[in-house]
Amino acid sequence: MNSLDAQFAALADPARRAILTRLARGEATVAELQRPLGISQPAVSRHLKVLEEAGLIAQSRAAQARPRRLRPEGLEAARQWIDGLRDLWSDSFDRLDAFLADPAQGETR
Amino acid sequence: MTDTPRFTITRAFAAPRARVWDAWTEPEALAQWFGPKGTCGSILAFDFRPGGEWRGRMDMPDGGGTMYSKFVFREIEPMSRLVWVHGFADAEGNRIRAPFAEQFPLEMLTVVHFADEGEGTRVDLSWTPLDATPEEEAFFVSMMASMNGGWSGSFEQLDEFLAGG
């Protein structure tokens, strides 16, 4: 469902990142999102669809204007991915330490 | 070329050098420790000779997705030194950019050095972007620097980081 590919593709666009940055401050309607971006309302709606399909935002159905809000949990996978690369060596060294300390591993040959 | 940033990490392991070397050069052992915490890694190919490829697959926790890597060995000095070109790949093993950030260097040179330290082994590892643009190098520095708990922006820290400890 919320595949990493969809998320990274969604995050690759500067307009969509601007939308996420705006929503990080609180929910907003399409009209409120459109104004500072200076792009057409259909263009904003297309961006919102991509973000929603990637699980990064959600829309509230309660109000007529259906404001969008950020889904912070949607970014969790992307965050894990980036942390994984940044921490590759410190994590691997921790794991290697445990691997070498494991008596079950014994001599590897 | 003179100011290419370098990320370094050093660790002393409580095991003799032969055992540490084996853990780095036998795929069955590597599969058990190489990779970020929480990931499940497997080794798809391991052609341990200069020019040979080490290809791996890594599954993120909680169905977070799959990534592939392809490393190409450059130098092998038994018990002493390993050098490989490090980068991401697609499932077929073709080199690709980091999926989340075009700015991450396409390839990095990994140099690992093994030395006796007391009863144990000291491992020094460095990561240097290969043929990267200044923008890619800057991205690499900002990303890897944050592993020490935040980027203060102090020049002293930057100097240390760029000097590679």
% of chain B residues with pLDDT over 90: 59
- For A19-34, the pLDDT digits (tens) are 988 888 888 999 999 9
Neighbours of B138 (CB within 10 A): 13
| Mean pLDDT across B13-26 | 94
* Among A8, A78, A108, beta carbon nearest to B23: A108
Q: What is the pLDDT confidence band of residue B73, given thresholds at 50, 70 and 90?
A: very high
Least CA distance to A103: which residue of chain B?
B15
pLDDT tier, B115 (very low <50, low <70, confident <90, very high otherwise): very high
Cβ within 8 Å of B, A 20-79 = 77-78
What contacts A103, CB < 8 A, 6 or more positions away? none
pLDDT number for residue B64: 66
pTM of the entire predicted model: 0.70
pLDDT computed for residue A9 by the predictor: 80
Summarize the confidence of residues B31-41 as an average pLDDT: 87
What CATH class has A4-105? mainly alpha
- In this predicted model, what pLDDT tens digit does every residue of A26-84 receive, in sequence order? 889 999 999 888 899 999 999 999 999 988 899 877 667 788 888 877 777 667 777 77
Point out the least confidently predicted range of B2-16, B104-118, B137-151: B137-151
pLDDT beyond 50 at B1: no
Q: Compute the residue count for chain A.
A: 109
Separation in Å, CA of B99 to nearest CA in chain A:
7
Reference A24, options A68, A80, A83; nearest CA is: A68
- Give chain B's radius of gyration (CA, Å): 16
Question: Is B147 in Cβ contact with A87 (below 8 Å)?
Answer: yes
Q: Any bridge partners for residue B77, and if so which? A: B81
Q: Would you say the C-alpha torsion A98, B61, B104, B95 has a positive or negative sign?
A: positive
From residue A30, give the alpha-carbon distance in Å to each of A21, A23, A53, B37, B116.
14, 11, 16, 40, 63
Give the number of A-B residue pairs with CB atoms closer than 8 Å.
103
With CB atoms and an 8 Å threshold, state whether A92 touches B34.
yes
Q: Where are the domains of chain B?
A: 7-163
Question: Which of A100, A107, A109 should we substitute to test contact with B (largest number of B Cβ atoms within 10 Å)?
Answer: A100
| Averaged pLDDT, B8-14 | 91
Highest CATH level, class, for B7-163: alpha beta
- Residues 46-105 on B with a CB inside 8 Å of A are 58, 60-62, 64-65, 67, 98-102, 104
Average pLDDT over residues A80-96: 86
CA-derived radius of gyration, chain A: 20
